[in-house]
Amino acid sequence: MTTTGIEFHRPTSLEEALTILRDAGREGIAKAGGTDVMLLLKHEAVRPRVMVGLSALSELKGIRRDKSVIAIGAGTTIAALERDAVLAEHAQGLLDAAHRMATAQIRTVATVGGNLASAAACGDLAPVLIALDATIHLRSAAGERELPLTEFFTGPRTTVLAPDELITRIEFPAAKKRSASSYAKFGYRGGSQIAVVAAAAQVNRDGSVAERVRLVMGAVAPIPFLVKGASVLTGRPVEGAALEAACAAAASECRPISDIRGSEAYRRTISSVVARQALESAWRRSAGHES
Strands lying side by side in the sheet with 197-206:
179-186, 197-206, 209-218, 225-226
- For the stretch 75-134, pLDDT in tens is 999 999 999 999 999 999 999 999 999 899 999 999 999 999 999 999 999 999 999 999
Note if the pTM is more than 0.85. Answer: yes
Length of the chain: 291
Residue 190 confidence (pLDDT): 57
Residue 289 confidence (pLDDT): 74
Q: Is the dihedral of CA 192, 220, 204, 69 positive or negative?
A: positive
Residue 41 confidence (pLDDT): 86
Q: How many CA atoms lie within 13 A of 139 on its CB side?
A: 17
Residue 191 confidence (pLDDT): 53
Closest Cα partner for 32 from 105, 123, 109, 124?
109
Residue ranges in the chain modelled with pLDDT below 50: 1
Are the C-beta atoms of residues 180 and 288 closer than 8 Å to each other? no
Residue 43 confidence (pLDDT): 80
Domains and CATH numbers, the chain: 7-53 (3.30.43.10), 58-173 (3.30.465.10), 179-286 (3.30.390.50)
Residue 141 confidence (pLDDT): 98
Phi/psi of residue 8, nearest 5 degrees: -100, 135
Residue 3 confidence (pLDDT): 67
- For the stretch 78-95, pLDDT in tens is 999 999 999 999 999 999
Rg, the chain, Cα only: 19
Residue 1 confidence (pLDDT): 45
